[in-house]
Amino acid sequence: MEQVSKIILNDSKIDLKNQEFYWELYERWFDIYLKDVELFREMYKNDFILWGYASLRKMYMMMIII
- Angle, vertex CA 47, rays to CA 62 and CA 27, nearest 5: 25
- Residue whose C-alpha is closest to residue 62's, from 20, 33, 37: 33
The pLDDT of residue 61 is 79
* Residue 31, pLDDT score: 86
The domain segmentation of the chain, as residue ranges, is 2-65
Read off the pLDDT of residues 1-60 as tens digits, 9 standing for 90 and up.
Answer: 444 444 444 555 556 667 777 788 888 888 888 888 888 888 888 888 888 888 888 888
pTM across the whole model: 0.53
pLDDT number for residue 3: 47
pLDDT at 66: 55
